[in-house]
Structure 1
Amino acid sequence: MKINEAAEAAGLSRRAIKYYEEQGLVHAAKDKNGYRNYTEEDIGRLKEISAYRKLGIGIRDIGILLSGTKPELLEQIYEEKKKLHQEDENTLEALRQFISDKNTDAFCRSVDYKSVADAMQEMFPGFFGYFSCSIFCRTFRLA
């Protein structure tokens, strides 16, 4: 099937499919006329990539997962996300307590700014994340 049909079948945009090809995650065969021809296997792979992206997994890790060379990676990602979720729950609980008692000392003790900086760096990889975290950490004297 052609890219438009593949995009519809996988629930992705044409641009997303081309990006995944550029990143080496999908390799569609080409017809004699040069058009890409996607198989059902390719569609399954695109759906798997889409599921990983919806989970917030990066392209590099998706490549590793698809290659099957590190099967424990998905479990590691799960544990990291579970830890971040718990930290978010703790922060929300601290905020709820702060709303009721306005105790800034207790709030500041219960919120871990270092984990916030780590989360920022994960959300904004590369230079922008590094730059943002360096400003954040200096502001709160973490560096």
Structure 2
Amino acid sequence: MIRMLISEVMKTCGLTKKAINYYEQQGLLALQYDHNGYRKFEEKDVGILKVIAVLRKLGMSISDIKTIIMSGDRRKLLQQYKAQKEMTIRQAQAQYECLQYLLESDTSLEEIFHEIDDRLEGTVNMKDKLLQAFPGVYGEYLYIHFGKFLDEKLDNGDKIEAYHRIVEFLDQADPLELPADLQRYVTDVFESLSKTDLKEMDEAMNSAIDDIDRFIAEHKETLVSYALYRNSKEYESSPAYRLQQALLEFQKTNGYYDVFIVNMKIVSDSYRKYQEKLQAANERFLAEYADTFFPSEQ
């Protein structure tokens, strides 16, 4: 067992003596003392101090660091902290853009009050509320998917009212709760996906919608194989099927389609056009594969 003097620990971790004393006082360290009253720093203590030093440089509070050190799932907590940082960055960016717009505008602060307020509300809060209402990777995907439609200006009363209906929906939406085995399935499948992966999935979906005939022609064999699997007993007993049903039920009972989607079409002209293309692509797809995907309904 290697033990170090405090001077060695300070040099190794890049910390001052006062900082180490403070972290001990805050309960981040549980040091042993020798018979002379000197602290004994073991390898695990040095490891904890290195973790503290890194997280402090990332701007994390002492209370958050303590939670992470004591947690058995540091990755999940770090992901949550990363999401909070991203939210802060988005808010700062929106504030900066509004400040720049204000300086370039000839109107007074009083005259531009409502426009600035709507700009900040419309470009930041709704995106962040998506992550709050749908935490985890599913929320990240929804943020990526819908976020690009939420940068438009709320330039009339209908859009502003629709925006507030969406915010109210997100504030009141029940959290998505899954059985323990489905939670593990979601973690196994989605936790490995980066934000880049999610963006690529969304872009692939958009590409297919933009030219559904080309997509069908290029992926015909894959689509047929997938259709056969979707109609199999194996799929009906799979976690993927149970997750799909749980999401559909959650969306139906929480007003996802009746409130969120309907008002998204009002808030965002680009989203309304996207939905029109999606519906056209879906009709074209069903015309080609209805008997393959839904044989029992024929």
The two structures have a TM-score, normalised by structure 1, of: 0.68
Residue 86 (str. 1) matches residue 95 (str. 2): no
Superposed CA deviations along residues 69-120 of structure 1, whole A, max 9, x for unmatched, are 45322211111110111010011111111221244413344346xx8xxxxx
The correspondence for 2:64, drawn from 61, 65, 77, is 61
Partner of 1:95: 99
In the aligned structure 2, how far is the partner of 1:33 from the partner of 1:50?
Answer: 28
Long gaps (5+) in structure 1: 116-143
Inter-partner Cα distance in structure 1 for 2:61 and 2:94: 26
Task: Indicate the residue corresponding to 1:21 in structure 2.
Answer: 24
Structure with a larger share of its residues in helix: 2
Q: Give the RMSD, CA atoms, in angstroms.
A: 2.0
Query: Aligned equivalents of 2:47 and 2:17: distance in 1?
Result: 16
- Give the Cα separation in 1 of the matches to 2:93 and 2:32: 46
State the match for 1:51 in structure 2.
Answer: 54
Q: Which residue of 1 aligns with 2:248?
A: none
Aligned to 2:119: 110
For the Cα contact (< 8 Å) 1:64–1:70, is it kept in 2?
no
Compare CA radii of gyration and give the structure with the larger one: 2
Identity level (%): 33
Question: Matches of 1:102 and 1:73 in 2, distance apart?
Answer: 45
Give the Cα separation in 2 of the matches to 1:60 and 1:38: 22
* 1:93–1:29 Cα change, 3 Å: same
Cα separation, 2, equivalents of 1:51 and 1:100: 40
- Determine helix, strand or coil for the equivalent of 2:36: coil
User: Which residue type is aligned with residue 10 of structure 2?
Assistant: A
1:74 aligns with one of 57, 78, 84: 78
Q: Who is 1:140 aligned against?
A: none
CA contact (8 A) 1:30 1:37 kept: yes
| Contiguous gaps of at least 5 residues in structure 2 | 126-298
